[in-house]
Amino acid sequence: MIDIKLLRENPDRVKENIKRKFQDHKLVLVDEILSLDTKNREAKLKGDNLRAERKSLSSQIGSLMQAGKKEEAETIKAKVQSINEELQKNEALEAQYAEEIKVRMMKIPNFMHESVPIGKDDSENVEIQKYGEPIVPDYEIPFHGEILEALNGLDLDSARRVAGQGFYYLLGNVARLHSAVLTYARDFMINKGFTYCIPPYMIRSDVVTGVMSFEEMDAMMYKIEGEDLYLIGTSEHSMIGKFKDQILKKEAMPYTMTSYSPCFRKEKGAHGIEERGVYRIHQFEKQEMIVVCEPEDSWNWYEKMWTYTVEFFRSMNIPVRTLECCSGDLADLKAKSCDVEAWSPRQQKYFEVGSCSNLTDAQARRLGIRIKGENGTYFAHTLNNTVVAPPRMLISIVENNYQPDGTVTVPEVLRPYMGGLEKLN
């Protein structure tokens, strides 16, 4: 959520940002907010005047009663009562205007960084850099689901009977590899100086609406029936929620945290061939990183965070590339975002395995995350980034390490977490 002062002072800048995101249907919100804000400030001024008048009149009642002027005192009491009734109606009007403004402000996208490329959707994202040489072997690489099944490590049929489409059983050494990746990711981020965290896997609605847009909420989140709780779609939500309504000490900044969690997503939309395996699923596990920092430090952290993901994948010798997300592919709360994509030798293309985002102060405004400085409080900046999200991660491991005899070589950095196992067969 942006600062309403910016919208008041420069509505054209807000509208231009909306246009650059190809969300022209939201342009009307700016004028609606300005109109409501004017009415709300008028109502606040009226309320202040009514309270001042009530205070002045109330102070006269005691003096009149002491002077024996009971009839005059009663007349003033009646006026005070009338003011109270008018004030009550005015306060209800203020609350109504404030809520209508908030609903609309929550739909206004965050200001994008000036470097964000302009484009309508993810097809117009811009490649930044490749890391590692993408290799296509001279032998056929089967579909990842077939590789995992051949290793007796994946059972989709049983999962469908138990939970339906979009779920899976991981078994044996494949399940062990899955856990090894997460444990390695945990240690990798701890070694970067991040505090390890296991967060709540459910969050309340006021946290959900604080960390994402309404559109994302509807497309992603599973609601717990009869309770004000949602299953998390990513652990960044509950980690950022940890700081909700907190005033943080300047000397304690930044907060750098890495977390493990299961994640649950509706994954609405069309599914293609890749959804036969474990690419697009309703349940997965994830290692995430978040930073809460001073505003002037957030862009330095942004550059650090996505490079950590690249370093993580390259340590397993998996070729990756980074993509700059264009304006139309940028979620409303994000000021800038880049994706990390891993190489698929079977498809001979890259696929998304992580995303790094700087939300500047938009998320902190929604959640009330402030820093106490020498001259008062101000909103923090928040960032998030994927370290790794298996089992999707398994696709890149098994494809890039698949051998002609059907075995899969275990990346060297993962072998200590696999009891020294060098090969899956």
267 token code pair: 């994954």
What are the CA-CA distances from residue 420 to residues 128, 406, 409, 413 (Å)?
36, 20, 12, 10
Output 74 or 158, whichever has higher pLDDT.
Answer: 158
25 token code pair: 């249907």
Amino acid (one-letter) located at 53: E
Please answer whether residues 30 and 15 qualify as being in contact, where contact means their C-beta atoms are separated by less than 8 angstroms. yes
Domain ranges for the chain: 4-105, 122-424
Residue 292 and residue 381: Cα distance in Å, rounded?
A: 6
139 token code pair: 């032998």
pLDDT at 268: 57
Residue 60 and residue 403: Cα distance in Å, rounded?
A: 93
pLDDT tens-digit profile of 3-29? 999 999 999 999 999 999 999 999 999
Residue listed under structure tokens 């609605």: 205
Least confident of 229-243, 244-258, 267-281, 373-387: 267-281
**Dihedral of the alpha carbons of 259, 265, 271, 275, in degrees to the nearest 10:** 50
For helices 11-20 and 27-66, the axis angle rounded to 10 degrees is 140
pLDDT at 71: 85
Please answer whether residues 224 and 230 qualify as being in contact, where contact means their C-beta atoms are separated by less than 8 angstroms. yes
Helices marked H in 67-106: 70-105
CATH of 122-424, picked from 3.30.930.10, 3.40.710.10, 3.80.30.20, 3.20.20.10, is: 3.30.930.10
pLDDT above 50 (res 272): no
Instruction: Provide the percentage of residues in the chain whose pLDDT is more than 70.
Output: 98
Q: Tell me which architecture the domain covering 4-105 has in CATH.
A: Orthogonal Bundle (1.10)
In this prediction, residue 182 has a pLDDT band, given cuts at 50, 70 and 90, of very high
Residue 398 and residue 387: Cα distance in Å, rounded?
A: 18
Residue listed under structure tokens 């009415």: 39
Q: Kindly state the average pLDDT of the residues 120-149.
A: 95
In this prediction, residue 67 has a pLDDT band, given cuts at 50, 70 and 90, of confident
For helices 172-190 and 298-314, the axis angle rounded to 10 degrees is 140
pLDDT at 275: 55
278 token code pair: 């474990």
Please answer whether residues 84 and 54 qualify as being in contact, where contact means their C-beta atoms are separated by less than 8 angstroms. yes
Amino acid (one-letter) located at 29: L
Tell me how long the chain is.
425
pLDDT at 214: 72
The phi, psi pair for 230, rounded to 5°, reads -125, 145
